[in-house]
Chains A and B, each alone.
Chain A
Amino acid sequence: MSQFIHILPVLTVLVAAVALMFMSMYQNKFSVKTYITVSSIILVATLAFVFVPFGETFSVKPYSSIFNNVLIFDTFSNFFYVLLIGGTLFTLLIGEHYFQHRSYFTGEFFSILLFSLFGMLLLANANELITAYVALEIASFSVYIMVGYNSEDSRRVEAIFKYLVLGSFMGAFYLLGVVLVYGATQTTNLSEIATFIANNNISDMPLLYIGLTLILFIFLFKISAFPFQQWVLDVYRGAPMIITAFMASTFKIAIFSFFLRAMLQDIKPMIGFWDSIIYVVIVLTLVFGTWLAITQKIIKRMLAASSIVHTGYLLLAFIAIGKNIDAAYAIVFYLIAYLLSALGSFGLVSHIISETKVRVTYDDFKGLAHERPFLAAMMTVFMFSLAGIPSTIGFMGKLYVFTETINAGYAGLAVLAILATIVSVYYYFKLIAMMYFYPTNEKCMSNDFNDKRISTYAIAFLAILTVIGGIGSAIVFFIPALNIDTLIDLTQISIQSLLIK
């Protein structure tokens, strides 16, 4: 029974995904609202299962006779469960408005969304390269389909095609990498690879090195680091807005869950070898991402391009792991910060355009603050957080990442990242300026916009979390539970559970 509780969340999501698939056969019987309600309830229930062993330190490989140790359940995966399920849940809640105003969202969409969640959860548990691949592909294929969902937009074809082809291509690289690793070590199990690395001289394993580096490529591809950032703008542009939010935040976290585990638990010596590669990747990611972001006129593309810059920040902490483990906490914290702000900002834009479709460029956002002051205020909070302005969680995230980067001896990279941040102030604040300092853009007004919706409350909740994550402890005198330290403690416990042998 105790082992069953660990696999219960994944199982629930899988069963729910299948059940929703069957439900969607009866198109006319259920409304989109029903699907949203059902999926949300299931996700809340799953979250409850996750919280049963939450906060303790454990590491188990349940039913090893069946699973043959390919799956591992520990505090780390549990922690990522909360983020992934939470991210999906918020995607649903924020998208409530959007889904209802787009006729192409039908029942099976929610089934696909849950399938992708299933894949991501499995990825957080993967302890073996092939399992990780299968999990990654389950998640990816669901995302490919969701990217192409917008049947009203001709750009979707380009988006889905680009993403699918490139993704599969990178998948082939991954498999080639696995083959080489297997050739070198006779195993694909991460723990056994770790033992192999520990028992052999580093310089005797060229095959392993090449293999793992090929595997690194898919990681860089999925998180859209240079030189694999080409697809991001077009794919994000062609995908439905809310899917963009999902990809930028939740999906990115899932990728990190597996690679952090592999990196910290098993193949840590590799990071010394990758050091210079990642160094160059970071520099170029920051430079290209920043350049792309300032040249955009469409808000969605600007947010997409800026997500590349955030990838750069994350990699900054990733490279620092090689020198000290504390950087791993910084990554996890930054992921949380980015999840909140990205989901919030993308979600807010999708919420605004759900009825009209005209708020697309910077100019269209003129005067939003006069028309909808609360939405503009929340957007401002998310922009502040993305730009790393104090009092938001984004500032905390940057504080940790930069501190650890400097601590690991990469002060030069930290300065470069700061320069990227300075430029980011320009493109984030430009949006705020548009919302507040101009008269309302007449042609973008919509009179029958109903603000009292679940989406609005979900976004407001994210905005509150964003602020509390930034100043939580400053009001510690009044509300002791809202402490940033608690969050850091949780990330530390989760990371440390990886080191249980």
Chain B
Amino acid sequence: MSADILSFIIFLPAVVAFGLMITTRHVETVRNIAFLATTVILALVLKIYIDFEPSAGMQFVTNVPWISSYGINYYIGVDGFSLTILMMIAILIPTAYLLLWDGRTKGYWINMLLVQTGVTGALLSLDVILFYFFWEIMLLPVFLMIGIYGFGDKVFTTIKVTVYTMVGSLLMFVAILYLGVSYFNEFGSWSFQYDSLTQITTLSYNEKIWLFLAFLSAFAIKIPIFPLHTWIMETYKNAPTGAVFLLSSIMAKLGVYAIVRFMIPIFPDIYVEFSTWFVFIGLFGLIYFGIAALMQDDLKRMFAYSSASHLSFIAAGIFSLNEFGINGALYLIIAHAIATGALFLLVGIIHDETGYKTIKDLGGLAKQSPIFTTVFAIMLLANIGLPGTNGFVSELLIIFGVYEFNHTLGYISALTVIIGASYMLWMFQRAILVKREAGEDLKFRDLKIKEIIGLTPWIILIFLMGLYPDIFINKFEPTVTHYLNDILQIGATK
């Protein structure tokens, strides 16, 4: 039974979603059932988190044939990396439900459930075809959400975001098949399991670089890493709050996760060889997106750039080739998901209530809504890495990592954190604190009790992770150490 618990977690939302699709119940019933399903998942994930042994191997593994003529298996399992992100997703989604609670339609909730299946499935897949399967599946509900519930030129936006991400995914698809064929030619049987693909030795240097880039294109577009980011601006601006939340705080993280899960073990030597470039690109993105965020007037766009900026930082950490960097990147994945997720949802509330989302139209919200302002401030400070919050720990670790990797780049990374602080605080001052310039004060409500309950676990996590990082890092550190020892050795010997 313990082995099937992961399958249950993956497919429960989809099954519930299909059930809800054919009912004619009222939207509130639909939402309540969907919410219930996510809390059941949260409970199960908590159980897994407690049962999980902090060691390097895969746990809760299920491995059954799916398409046996091509050696494709339904192969899922969880290790230190995926466990942390699984936990994050399980906590984030129900809270998001609480913040999105009112005024949504049936389809909105059904799509949210379907995304959860796709995301969790992609996270837990250890067979690359299965991973690809879920990777594509998670895009479709978001496509529908943006198209149906979005704003502005939503149809163009949906087509753009879909084609954009498909370009990456399909290139990755060819690379996956190429790897499968190489494995077949070398070992005489088909397999697409990530641990079999790591054993391929026949690939030439050039082939590896092409395959590496094909994989990277899929993940870099999703994250997004500079210069593959052009889709996010319109998307974050025109998409409904739920979709922005899912894209920025969950799916983008899966791009980072996938780099660690598949690319590093399969191409360790290329990873080592090109790491300098990617750290550099990561830091460039950090600065570029940071400056772009400074100049935004639209709140959602500003957070889009800020999110991209932090994700570039994560990418720099991943490629810094040491334990500090990778631990920090994983930690920042969580920290950023919480802070950015919450900020997008809070901006969603501002937009729903006032009808505005540009900084110059807003102002003076603090007076009318002290709780809202406090929560907003906490998320903001966590996002810019104030000591005591989880953002601080993660940024510090990454800066250590980059410093160890290359001193000069380390200094740059430490200095650029200032940019983040400046645009965030400047925005906070203009949009929330000072009096509104144009016209009368805006009517704005404070957070409801439901929303406060939803946000509480996040706030607790922010400080818990900030003050006692050990309890969390202990869970995934053995995996990271194992990874680095093995991979750096292989990378060095190849």
Footprint of B on A, CB under 8 Å?
384, 389-391, 395-396, 399-400, 402-403, 406-407, 411, 414-415, 418, 421-422, 425-426, 429-430, 433, 436-438, 473-474, 476-477, 484-485, 488-489, 492
Contact = CB atoms under 8 A, between A and B. Distances in A.
Nearest to B214: A415
Given A403-B181, A436-B144, A425 B133 contact: no
A474 B65 CA distance: 9
B159 A390 contact: no
A473 B181 contact: no
A402 B67 CA distance: 15
Contacts of B144: 436
Interface string B104-139: 000000000000000000000000010011101100
Interface in B146-189: 147-148, 154-155, 158-159, 162-163, 166-167, 170-171, 173-174, 177-178, 180-181, 184-185
A485 B190 CA distance: 14
Contact of A425 (B67, B69, B70, B162): B162
Interface residues of B, number: 37
Nearest to B139: A389
A81 B193 CA distance: 37
B140 interface: yes
Contacts of B178: 406, 411
Nearest to A424: B166
Contact of A484 (B67, B158, B177): B67
A390 B67 contact: no
B155 A473 contact: no
B177 A485 contact: no
B177 A406 contact: yes
B493 interface: no
B158 A437 contact: yes
Contact of A415 (B67, B147, B174): B174
A399 B147 CA distance: 28
A412 B65 CA distance: 30
B74 interface: yes
Given A390-B136, A390-B137, A474 B66 contact: yes
Contact of B129 (A384, A399, A407): A399
A485 B478 CA distance: 39
26 contacts: A390-B133, A390-B137, A400-B70, A403-B177, A406-B174, A406-B181, A407-B181, A407-B184, A414-B177, A418-B170, A418-B171, A422-B170, A425-B166, A429-B143, A429-B162, A429-B163, A433-B147, A433-B158, A433-B159, A437-B147, A437-B154, A473-B65, A474-B74, A476-B64, A476-B66, A485-B65
B174 A485 contact: no
A407 B69 CA distance: 14
A42 to B, nearest CB: 35
A395 B171 CA distance: 15
Nearest to A484: B67
B68 interface: yes
A422 B166 contact: yes
A390 B132 contact: yes
Nearest to A409: B181
A485 B166 contact: no
Contacts of B147: 433, 436-437
A403 B65 CA distance: 18
B66 A473 contact: yes
Contacts of B69: 485, 488-489, 492
A212 B461 CA distance: 73
Nearest to A475: B11
A402 B163 contact: no
B39 to A, nearest CB: 25
Contact of A485 (B67, B133, B167): B67
A339 B65 CA distance: 27
Nearest to B171: A418
Given A402-B173, A415-B171, A429-B158, 4 more contacts: A399-B129, A406-B174, A429-B162, A489-B69
Nearest to A411: B178
A428 to B, nearest CB: 10
A488 B178 CA distance: 21
Contacts of B68: 485
**The 5 A-B residue pairs with the shortest CB-CB distance in the complex, in nearest-first order:** A437-B147, A390-B133, A390-B136, A407-B181, A488-B69
B181 A422 contact: no
Interface string B30-54: 0000000000000000000000000
Contacts of B65: 473, 485
Nearest to A471: B133
A391 B18 CA distance: 14
B159 A426 contact: yes
Q: Could you say which of B158, B173, B185 has the most chain A C-beta atoms within 10 Å of its C-beta?
A: B173
Contacts of A422: 163, 166-167, 170
Contact of A421 (B137, B143, B148, B170): B170
Contact of B67 (A414, A436, A473): A473
Nearest to A473: B66
A381 to B, nearest CB: 11
A458 B293 CA distance: 53
Contacts of A426: 159, 163
A389 B134 CA distance: 10
A477 B171 CA distance: 31
A430 B155 CA distance: 9
Given A391-B137, A407-B184, A473-B66, A399 B162 contact: no
A418 B173 contact: yes
A406 B170 CA distance: 14
Contacts of A421: 170
Contact of A402 (B154, B159, B174, B184): B174
Given A403-B180, A488-B69, A389 B163 contact: no
Contacts of A396: 67
A477 B185 CA distance: 31
Nearest to A438: B155
B66 to A, nearest CB: 5
B155 to A, nearest CB: 5
